Amino acid sequence: MFPMAARKVATAFLLLSCFLGGQAFAVLPDEVLKDPVLEARARVISQDLRCLVCQNQAIDDSGAPLARDLRIIVRERLTKGDSNEQVVQYLVARYGNYVLLKPPFQADTLLLWIGPGIFLLLAAGTAAFYFRPRNMKAEAPASALDETEQSQLAELVKDI
């Protein structure tokens, strides 16, 4: 078996790799802007832009060549003084709302946004209907015993 020290080192590496694993970025060193503020804005913007090649990845973590081009465009626009909103609009003008990972709230996406709420209400309504209390009459308290019943009861109890 391995000596104890080697095992400890191996465990340390394993733990380290668990924490560093999520830190892999697709942004290449040559793309990074010198201005840290602009670079931070570029990162925020590109995390919400869809890579058109690998469609459920953001361009920020996609390795596709087109994603790289779009990341560079985002940084170019920022360097030219565009606001975050203008940068996003620049790409929406070319690729449509599809390029946004978070769809905007507007007429044709209304169902998308409020659909889950509607289904929740529908489900809650159905549940309320199915689990409503039934047979209310049967559960009404029985009336008190009358005199004959009282004497019959006394008769029965006496034998015990």
Least distance (Å) between residue 145 CB and another protein? 36
* Nearest residue (CB) to another protein, 6 versus 66: 66
Find all residues with CB under 8 Å of 86, minimum gap 6, and list them.
77
Least distance (Å) between residue 91 CB and another protein? 9
Distance from C-alpha of 94 to C-alpha of 88, rounded to nearest angstrom: 10
* Nearest residue (CB) to another protein, 69 versus 149: 69
Question: CA 20 from chain center: how many Å?
Answer: 23
52 near another protein (CB under 8 A): yes
89 near another protein (CB under 8 A): no
Stretch that binds another protein, among 6-14, 90-98, 106-114, 135-143 (CB under 8 A): 90-98
Question: CA 96 from chain center: how many Å?
Answer: 23
95 near another protein (CB under 8 A): yes
For another protein, the binding residues (CB under 8 A) are: 52-53, 55, 65-66, 69-70, 73, 93-96, 98, 122, 126
